[in-house]
């Protein structure tokens, strides 16, 4: 096996025929053939309409995030706001957020749940939408879309 792996980086597995696993998963295409393809055939090509929609969504998302931050400052306790910022805006899980905040993971989870409930209630009352539709995931049907 040592002779078959000669020339490969350490840790690279070889498959049948002595090729590395990475090479078996690759598709080799002639660069001249790729140069013949139009830009619109590229994997990352976007139409003007797609770019405009993405920019519009980014602006709307920034607007919603600003609303959430304003409401969090007005309506949430210090702990609820910290839990929400760490988990929902900071991307941390409850264990990591709890370690940073000096709380147990279950206390962080409860804080996030209470914060979300308060913000959803505020959104239904005076929401950031102003006629643009409900901001909750459930579409305004209550918890988990049950219609309650």
Region 82-88: mean pLDDT is 95
Residue 87 resides in a domain: yes
The answer to whether 72 and 81 have CB atoms below 8 angstroms apart is: yes
Q: How far is CA 44 from CA 39, 40, 52, in A?
A: 9, 9, 15
| Higher per-residue pLDDT: 23 or 106 | 106
Residue 135 clears pLDDT 60, i.e. is over it: no
Q: Is residue 71 part of a domain?
A: no
Range of the domain at 107: 78-127
Residue 22 located in a structural domain: no
Q: Give the Å distances, CA to CA, from 5 to 8, 11, 24, 28.
A: 6, 10, 15, 22
With cut-offs at 50, 70 and 90, classify the pLDDT of residue 123. Answer: very high
Within-domain flag for 28: no
Contacts of 125 (CB under 8 A, 6+ apart): none
Domain contains 138: no
Between CA 144 and CA 141 the distance in angstroms is 8
Q: What's the pLDDT score for residue 134?
A: 45
pLDDT, position 20: 62
Whether 82 is in a domain gets the answer yes
What are the helix and strand counts (H, E) for the chain? 6, 0
Domain tally, the chain: 1
pLDDT of residue 140 exceeding 70: no
| Any domain includes 49 | no
What is this structure's pTM?
A: 0.57
> Does the structure show a pLDDT above 60 at 60?
yes
Does residue 98 lie within any of the structural domains?
yes
């Amino acid at each position: 096996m040592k002779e078959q792996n000669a020339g490969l980086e350490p840790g690279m597995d070889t498959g049948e025929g002595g090729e590395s696993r990475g090479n078996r998963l690759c598709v080799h295409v002639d660069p001249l053939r790729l140069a013949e393809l139009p830009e619109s055939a590229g994997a990352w090509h976007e139409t003007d309409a797609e770019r405009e929609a993405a920019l519009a969504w980014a602006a709307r998302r920034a607007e919603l995030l600003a609303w959430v931050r304003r409401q969090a400052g007005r309506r949430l306790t210090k702990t609820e706001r910290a839990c929400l910022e760490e988990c929902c805006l900071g991307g941390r899980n409850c264990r990591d957020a709890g370690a940073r905040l000096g709380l147990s993971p279950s206390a962080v989870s409860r804080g996030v749940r209470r914060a979300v409930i308060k913000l959803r209630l505020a959104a239904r009352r005076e929401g950031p939408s102003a006629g643009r539709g409900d901001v909750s995931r459930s579409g305004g049907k209550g918890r988990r879309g049950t219609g309650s």
